[in-house]
A and B are shown apart, each in its own frame.
Chain A
Amino acid sequence: MTDAPVAAPLKTPLHGRHVALGAKMVSFGGWEMPLQYSGITEEHLAVRRAAGLFDVSHMGEIEVAGADALAAVQRISTNDAARLEVGQAQYSALATPEGTFVDDLLVYRLGDEHFLLVVNAATIAKDFAWIRDGIQGVGDAVAVNTSSRYALIAVQGPRALEIVQSLTEVDLASIGYYRFATGEVANVRSTISRTGYTGEDGFEIFVAPQVAERLWGALLSVGAPAGLRPAGLGARDTLRLEAAMRLSGQDIDETTSVLEAGLGWIVGWEKPEFVGRAALVRQRAAGVTRQLVGFEMVERGIARHGYPVYVGEDRVGVVTSGTRTPFLEKAIGLTYLPRAASAPGAECAIEIRGRRVRARVVPLPFYKRPRG
């Protein structure tokens, strides 16, 4: 086998808008995406205090349809899709037979026999192949990679609802958390989902690529007076980390199990069969040996992805995510610790450029939004 040629970076339908706004563009999962516009700190705070506008069109969409679509989704997704009503979504995992992560995803029930799976950008091809192979033999169900049919725009923050509401007749307050509705936003046919990756209330809006710019522009003009700011991948990462939302490929991957990641709640234990079930049932009975934990630095220093982690003299792993977050103004991170050393208050040390710096396990999430 020879190395594949390096492909040109993919661009979302909003690429021109980002460049026009002066965004600093970076390569992410094969896509050229905005890292930041005005600055990560300012964008992060805008989302916590007012609202942020994100282009997440790089995310992948895979649709599963057919008379046996539910059975197909049930086989490849750990969560119990039978509990979804039409118009409802759930967080889930694509698991390996060992109970580790191929990827994490959102499962939307579009119809009784029609599901939309939203997967991570860098793993669209891998996930699609995995799903297509995984549902073979289930019966009447077909998986189609429909990623190019969708642009995805997220509006996140305490003022997200009023901003989007000013552009739609759909009663947004009636859409519950992890529910979605269809309708027009700024005269653009949309699927409006009350979901997000920031720890704030907000919406993710699926539209056709050719009308994405119109929606983006309309949201920016009506939102700006309310404090809406375009926000890039940098702020998206610091926001999701404060909310302790896992990042696939970093906090969770094929070496970490769904239970170790603290995500037993996305396992449909009552389901008789799904990929990874046997391993997860065994692991639940035996107990996990290590656990994803949140920590904050006790001494000065910033832990970052890949830095070694010590408990006593033992090197126990690496930091899976770490930064100094703009809202909490603390250096925080995620890592896997041996079960015995993983309780809140326990100490560990992060090796920062050759020096061991003290850290302490804290409860997750780091940030929880105040609810009115």
Chain B
Amino acid sequence: MYPSDRQYTTEHEWISVSGTTARVGITDYAQQQLGDVVFVELPDVGQTFDQGAQFGSIESVKAVSDLYCPMAGAVVEVNTTLVDRPETVNADPHGVWIIAIELTSPDQTAGLIDAAAYAELVS
């Protein structure tokens, strides 16, 4: 269910690190709780965020949820397909990333949990 190739937060984001960059998305549990996603507010490329800082928001028909940056970094890319097709987050939450960041300190993983621990959290 939850891929083991990445780490998770208790705020229901996932982060997939590759070298000094990482991609961030929301978990299947998060998309289920939100319902039909209709809007993703994305940051600008170049913006920097501390670990745990809000980088955007995601909205369903019914609810708004803040997006928090799992690790500190600078935004190098945002997934602009979400502007027109936000519902792809529902269809493939673990495949559709929201932002890519250049990590400030790639080994600073405190607070992140692995797939097994996350599955336990939302079970």
Contact = CB atoms under 8 A, between A and B. Distances in A.
Interface stretch (A36-44, A86-94, A114-122, A336-344): A36-44
Interface string A292-313: 0000000011101000000000
B38 A234 contact: no
Given A35-B62, A40-B62, A234-B62, A302 B39 contact: yes
B35 to A, nearest CB: 6
B38 A302 contact: yes
Interface size range on B against A = 10 to 19
A324 B57 contact: no
A326 B86 CA distance: 13
A42 B87 CA distance: 12
Interface size range on A against B = 20 to 34
A41 B59 contact: no
A39 B35 contact: yes
B13 to A, nearest CB: 18
By secondary structure, the A interface counts as: mixed
A287 B59 CA distance: 39
B118 to A, nearest CB: 21
B64 A304 contact: yes
A200 B56 CA distance: 36
B32 to A, nearest CB: 9
B35 A324 contact: no
B59 A302 contact: yes
A234 B35 CA distance: 10
B3 to A, nearest CB: 24
A304 B118 CA distance: 31
Nearest to A324: B38
Contact of A234 (B39, B61, B87): B61
6 contacts: A40-B62, A41-B38, A234-B35, A302-B59, A324-B61, A353-B57
